[in-house]
């Protein structure tokens, strides 16, 4: 009897510890993801030539004081960071990711590269995925030059609509009244949020929506890659193959679009240590997504993403001077998020057959296609 009570107490303590670690993983993902968004936004926003769009605040709100306030002021200072080149920034991210993945897999051999990759699969699947990943990050970073962080997050809520419509066009999704209703709710919410935007820049909207379409295409290509090609890759393996391809796809537009501007302008500045931190945050973000999914589930990761989006919207309104939330903004975004939650619940609802086996396979192999698809679907917060 005493032994049973002791075992129960030990089991309860172990469960509490396990739950605490899980919540720490979720909080870390929210923090690093939101932090990377603000990091990239600050890096782009500090360009003096764009001050007509988003003037930098001369001071932060009094409630943001102490060390956090000093760090935010340092990042926003144009004397420290002046790098309004989104293609170059994203290219550096992909080069950094390629180098780190190569070191992990080939030099230190911490992670083994999954087998099954052929030249035909690489050309037909990995290159399109890498190209769309490059477009997603390029256009998403460019949008921050023209629109606020909060409004960019609101526009991202339209993502399930783009994924569903393109999936239906590729024969991966089936039209249904329920899905059409969910898509309508999300669309109405985003439209309402856009109407409530005070200082809207249509150039920024086009960039952001282009990024959404590119991300949707990337997810479609990933689904085709996983379902039709049958290759199982963990996140490191996927990044090992995709990152160099994305870097090459970004190098070409950088060479013709941004390199001449960088050569002409002597005012841009990105301290090496800050650049390293920015690239490291991007890589850690991808790793945190993998950890969250492997420890919890795909549904938990997506719901956590919704919490992250709300946190970014509210915090950006307090930090950045270019963010002015209106009541219509909040109502529209709330409607869109309600649709996104319904979409996630519908897409990730367990199937009536084979649930137990699928759950066991997922735990036994955290790098399974479902994990990779969901982890890659969480866009790098750029």
Mean pLDDT rounded to a whole number for the chain = 74
Name 271's Cβ contacts closer than 8 Å, sequence gap at least 6. 80, 81
Interatomic CA distance for residues 323 and 325, integer angstroms:
6
- In tens, the pLDDT along 160-203 reads 888 888 888 888 888 888 888 988 998 998 888 888 776 788 89
Residue 283's pLDDT is 87
Q: What is the pTM of this model?
A: 0.71
- In tens, the pLDDT along 18-68 reads 777 777 877 877 787 777 666 655 555 444 444 334 443 333 333 333 333
Cβ-in-10-Å burial (0-12, 13-18, 19+) of 117 comes to middle
**Average pLDDT, stretch 66-83?**
42
> Of 3-7, 58-62, 271-275, which range is least confident?
58-62
- In tens, the pLDDT along 99-156 reads 999 999 999 988 888 777 888 889 988 999 999 989 988 898 888 778 887 888 888 8
Res. 255 pLDDT band, cuts 50 70 90 = very high
Residue 85's pLDDT is 81
Interatomic CA distance for residues 296 and 287, integer angstroms:
14
Interatomic CA distance for residues 130 and 239, integer angstroms:
9
Residue 158's pLDDT is 87
The CA–CA distances, whole Å, from 334 to 95, 205, 316 equal: 37, 19, 17
Interatomic CA distance for residues 293 and 367, integer angstroms:
10
Query: Of residues 323 and 74, which shows the higher confidence score?
Result: 323
Inform me whether the pLDDT recorded for 296 exceeds 60.
Answer: yes
- In tens, the pLDDT along 304-324 reads 777 777 787 877 777 766 567
Inform me whether the pLDDT recorded for 270 exceeds 60.
Answer: yes
Cβ–Cβ contacts within 10 Å for residue 257, how many? Answer: 14
Residue 42's pLDDT is 53
Name 31's Cβ contacts closer than 8 Å, sequence gap at least 6. none
Q: What is the CA radius of gyration of the chain?
A: 22
Query: Of residues 170 and 297, which shows the higher confidence score?
Result: 170
**Average pLDDT, stretch 89-93?**
89
Spell out the alpha helix ranges (H) of the chain: 2-45, 66-76, 86-102, 119-121, 127-143, 149-156, 159-169, 177-195, 202-228, 235-253, 259-264, 272-295, 298-319, 327-347, 355-364, 369-377
**Average pLDDT, stretch 93-97?**
93
Query: Of residues 106 and 266, which shows the higher confidence score?
Result: 106
Inform me whether the pLDDT recorded for 248 exceeds 90.
Answer: yes
Residue 91's pLDDT is 93
Over 230-290, what HEC string results? CCCCCHHHHHHHHHHHHHHHHHHHHHHHHHHHHHHCCCCECCHHHHHHHHHHHHHHHHHHH
Which residue's entry shows tokens 């290759």?
Answer: 231
Interatomic CA distance for residues 267 and 264, integer angstroms:
9
């Amino acid at each position: 009897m005493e032994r049973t009570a002791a075992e129960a107490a030990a089991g309860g303590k172990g469960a509490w510890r396990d739950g605490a670690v899980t919540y720490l993983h979720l909080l870390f993902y929210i923090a690093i993801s939101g932090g990377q968004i603000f990091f990239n936004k600050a890096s782009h926003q500090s360009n003096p030539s764009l001050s007509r769009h988003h003037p930098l605040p001369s001071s932060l709100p009094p409630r943001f004081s102490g060390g956090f306030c000093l760090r935010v002021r340092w990042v926003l200072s144009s004397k420290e960071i002046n790098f309004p080149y989104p293609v170059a920034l994203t290219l550096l991210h992909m080069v950094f990711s390629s180098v780190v993945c190569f070191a992990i897999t080939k030099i230190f051999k911490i992670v083994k590269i999954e087998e099954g990759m052929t030249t035909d699969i690489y050309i037909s699947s990995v290159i399109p995925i890498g190209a769309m990943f490059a477009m997603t990050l390029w256009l998403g970073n460019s949008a921050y030059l023209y629109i606020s962080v909060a409004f960019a997050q609101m526009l991202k809520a339209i993502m399930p609509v783009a994924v569903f419509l393109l999936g239906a066009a590729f024969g991966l999704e089936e039209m249904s009244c329920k899905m059409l209703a969910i898509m309508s709710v999300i669309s109405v919410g985003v439209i309402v949020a856009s109407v409530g935007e005070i200082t809207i820049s249509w150039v920024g909207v086009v960039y952001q929506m282009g990024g959404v379409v590119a991300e949707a295409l990337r997810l479609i290509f990933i689904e085709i890659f996983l379902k039709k090609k049958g290759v199982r890759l963990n996140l490191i393996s996927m990044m090992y193959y995709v990152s160099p391809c994305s870097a090459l796809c970004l190098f070409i537009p950088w060479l013709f679009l941004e390199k001449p501007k960088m050569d002409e302008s002597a005012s841009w500045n990105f301290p090496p240590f800050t650049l390293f931190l920015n690239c490291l945050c991007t890589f850690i973000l991808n790793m945190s997504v993998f950890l969250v999914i492997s420890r919890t589930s795909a549904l938990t990761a997506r719901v956590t993403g919704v919490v992250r989006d709300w946190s970014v919207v509210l915090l950006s309104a307090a930090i950045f001077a270019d963010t002015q939330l209106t009541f219509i903004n909040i109502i529209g975004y709330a409607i869109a998020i309600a649709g996104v939650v319904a979409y996630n619940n519908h897409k990730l609802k367990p199937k009536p057959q084979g649930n137990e086996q699928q759950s066991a396979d997922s735990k036994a192999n955290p790098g399974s296609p479902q994990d990779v698809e969901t982890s890659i679907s969480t866009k790098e917060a750029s």
